[in-house]
Structure 1
Amino acid sequence: MRSASDVIVVGAGVVGAACAYYAARAGLSVTVLDRGPVAGGTTGSGEGNLLVSDKEPGPELELALFSSTLWQELAGLLPRGVEYEPKGGLVVARDEPGMAALRTFAAGQEKAGVTVSEVAADRLPDLEPHLAPGLAGGFHYPQDAQVMPALAAAHLLRASGAEVRLGPGEEVMGLLTGPGGAVRGVRTASGALYAPHVVNAAGTWGGELARLAGVLLPVLPRRGFVLVTEPLPRVVRHKVYAADYVADVASGSAALQTSAVVEGTPAGPVLIGASRERVGFDRTLSVEVLRRLAAGATELFPVLAGVRTMRTYAGFRPYLPDHLPAIGPDARVPGLLHACGHEGAGIGLAPATGRIIADVLTGARLPLETGPFDPARFEPEESR
């Protein structure tokens, strides 16, 4: 038997770190467990996007807008090393039908509280001087921002004051339960650890942790690759992507999808994405994906054609079938809470997720309606 705490958070990515931060700030004692290093999963493979521009009106956009305000607060509290940059996003269209679709999408977002402005074709160079000529126009989203995700997770954990236990010996092998099936803690490779609440922030492995608790949460990995260029002067000022990226984000297809996404970083390298495919946890390098990413980036920014790629890496987004994360208590297992399934938006949505988890744990008033994120929504009706 090891020391007890008020809550155990399983997962040391940015979502788990945010849960630990807000729970500790609410006065709870927190232990964070991870079988790997801090940000060793999806967080460490992310670009650090904090986006509202790619979300249609609805629950996820509400979560993103709330999280955006929390990130602004955190930026003033965490060290500058997290590289928080409110640089804004620019979504561009190649032709007039594409602009018409973006215009309709943006109008709905604006009604939901998003700040967005249309940019005529001849004004695009004012925002991005190196953009390819001939584009039909775009939309500017000043609320889009970026952080360095691994450092953000590390600094959130440090600021939380939580006890952080890392390594193979901390892998959760099962949940400990008491009378009525209520959570009493977890069983790890190193022994039992007790707490009346356990938060599943295990990212792409969130479905496996749910299975250990005897419940269904169909989280699947969705692979993506990122190209990283050599350090450059600020060639790309915003997060810039083509209109088809929005459709790819919303798609549930398991097949390979690529769309041009290009952004600069404070450190100099340009990050190039984005690809999506469901191939399990296969990390095999795909030359075809890299070719598509490079072609899409140079089509938007011809200046990148002569730039060297420094490295490439793959990561896995924690995908749920309805594209909404699972956030909150699991009515099927008293004491179990979920904070996973954010797909590619986890870094942006982490603070709002952590705040909701902390408010549930302390009985505080929730900042928004959480019904759409109910972890039990995938359970067959007859099993509920």
Structure 2
Amino acid sequence: MNGTRVAVLGAGIVGAACARELALAGFAVTVVDRGGPAAATTSHGEGNVLVSDKGPGPELRLAQLSRALWPEVLGAVAERSARGAEAVAAVEWEPKGGIVVATTATGASELSRFAARQREAGVRAEVLDAQTLAEAEPHVTRDHTAALHYPDDAQVQPAGAAVALLTDALTAGAALRTGCEVLGAVTRGGRLTGIRTSAGLLEADLFVNAAGPWSGELAARLGAPVDVRPRRGDILVTTPLPPMVFHKVYDADYVGAVGSSAEDLQTSAVVESTRAGSVLLGSSRRRAGFDDRLRPEVLSAIAVKALRLFPGLAEVPVMRAYGGFRPYVPDHLPVIGPDPRLPGLWHGTGHEGAGIGLSLGTALLLRNLMLGRPTDIDARAFRVDRPAVLGAEASTANDETA
């Protein structure tokens, strides 16, 4: 396979991770993006690398694989070149752990059952009593019914992480084309052999759809629609503060919001600090197409729930708010692998809000599938030809966005 030409369509963190793995494996990689590296969904995330919010199943196994890869990959990037070492410094890797807090009796019961199932799947989830919670997070609410510590949760600066991975891909020989929008497909004998772009024709042997929330529209332009839709999320950012939040802290409702398929607004409290001192307040999920307007009622709902976890934030100024789109799939599983309808087309998308954390495992999985090698985890759950991805809604959704 050495020298096989691969075009990675999307320069967000999933595209960057895939480009890196493929370039290191000897593929001739070109990364294409209509904007710039990490300029869209990746730069509008919180940088979560989580196992705490995933129940037993394929996504958790992918999360565990990715979590194990993060320190290994960052170390390799830093060692490969001085440029890589500089890029890794901007990743701000923090294996600080997560704490999940329940504030109702029902929430405590559900959290306990959820954690028991996770432990059976190899997740470390440690019960915190009132004293140990207060020691770990002195400013968190004392009005709680249960708390769990997940020591394997981590955080990165998402744009910095994507740039570090892309830097390593370029060091390994990949090329980058920005300001290059995909317009359509060129096929020969039923196989995808090229793409028409705003900058001209690009030919390759394989193409990876890593366009995040725009993957559905991109796939439709190539003639193989998938049901990947945008799901909006918003975040509040406080002014810089003295250290007051030491883990990623969220309420027990967060897991339910992540797994919900509801179209209306879903909110839960997620509070975490950054190295710059600001505190990020989330989270929300709503299906609003590509409407990028900030909604005051959404920001208000986020603030109300955050204050239930950290009442001391009530007097802290919010200096800005931002939002972004996540690639949502109806069955809440990523889409990873070859498209049987259009030989030459591959997908690495559909991670919704977990793309940062799952990027490295996705890239390794995709590389091994392309090379015909055994995969570290079973990839069948992520296959393209499953009902949630190729259902009747796929063509309708993509007709509306194309």
Q: Report the TM-score when normalising by structure 2.
A: 0.91
Q: Which residue of 2 aligns with 1:37?
A: 36
Counterpart secondary structure, 2:225: coil
1:107 corresponds to which residue?
116
Match of 1:163 in 2: 175
CA drift of 1:5 comes to: 6.2
Query: Can you list the C-alpha shifts for 1:185-224, whole angstroms capped at 9, x where unaligned?
Result: 2111111111110000000110111112222311111111
Task: Specify the code of the residue in structure 1 equivalent to 2:236.
Answer: L
Pair 129,364 (structure 1): closer, same or farther in 2 beyond 3 Å: same
Question: Aligned-pair distance for 1:380?
Answer: 5.0
* Cα pair 2:192 2:343 within 8 Å, conserved: yes
Larger mean CA deviation between 22-31 and 353-362 belongs to 353-362
1:264 pairs with 2:276: no
In structure 2, give the amino acid aligned to 1:333.
L
Q: Distance in 2 between matches of 1:339 and 1:345?
A: 13
Deviations 1:35-63 (A, max 9, x none): 01111221110000001100010000000
> Paired residue for 1:177?
187
Contact 2:237/2:281 (<8 A) preserved: yes
Distance 2:125 2:75 in 1: 24
Q: Which amino acid aligns with 2:36?
A: P
- Aligned identity (percent) is 52
2:250 paired residue number: 241
CA distance in 2, matches of 1:138, 1:64: 22
Whole-angstrom CA distance in 2 between matches of 1:374 and 1:300: 39
Contact kept in structure 2, 1:257 and 1:276, CA below 8 Å: yes
Report matched runs for 1:1-384 at 5 Å. 6-78=5-77, 79-161=88-170, 162-167=174-179, 170-179=180-189, 181-378=190-387, 379-380=390-391
2-structure distance, mates of 1:62, 1:82: 24
**Partner-residue secondary structure (3-state), 2:385:** helix
* C-alpha deviation, 1:165, in angstroms: 0.5
The alpha-carbon deviation at position 290 of structure 1 amounts to 1.0
Whole-angstrom CA distance in 2 between matches of 1:251 and 1:367: 28
| Letter aligned with residue 8 of structure 1 | A
**Inter-CA distance 34–230: structure 2 relative to 1 (3 Å threshold):** same
Residues 92 and 157, structure 2, Cα contact 8 Å, conserved in 1: yes
Q: How many Å apart are 1:121 and its aligned residue?
A: 2.5
SS in 2 for 1:375: coil
CA contact (8 A) 1:216 1:376 kept: no
Q: Distance between the aligned counterparts of 2:204 and 2:368, measured in 1?
A: 17
Whole-angstrom CA distance in 2 between matches of 1:108 and 1:355: 26
Maintained 8 Å contact 1:15/1:354: yes
Q: Could you tell me how far apart the structure 1 residues matched to 2:386 and 2:106 are?
A: 37
Cα separation, 1, equivalents of 2:290 and 2:221: 20
CA shift at 1:367, angstroms? Answer: 1.4
Q: Secondary structure at the match of 2:233?
A: strand
5+ long unaligned stretches in structure 1: none
Name the amino acid aligned to 2:332. Answer: H
CA distance in 1 between partners of 2:199 and 2:223 (Å): 22
Q: Which digits, 9 at most, give the CA deviation of each residue in 1:52-89, with x for residues without a partner?
A: 10001000000000000111212323422100100000
CA distance in 2, matches of 1:279, 1:61: 27
Which deviates further from its counterpart, 305-314 or 209-218? Answer: 209-218
Task: Tell me if structure 2 keeps the 8 A contact 1:118–1:140.
Answer: yes
Contact 1:5/1:31, CA 8 A, preserved across alignment = no
Post-superposition shift, 1:361? 2.0
Identify if the C-alpha distance between structure 1 residues 164 and 117 changes in structure 2 by more than 3 Å, giving closer, same or farther.
same
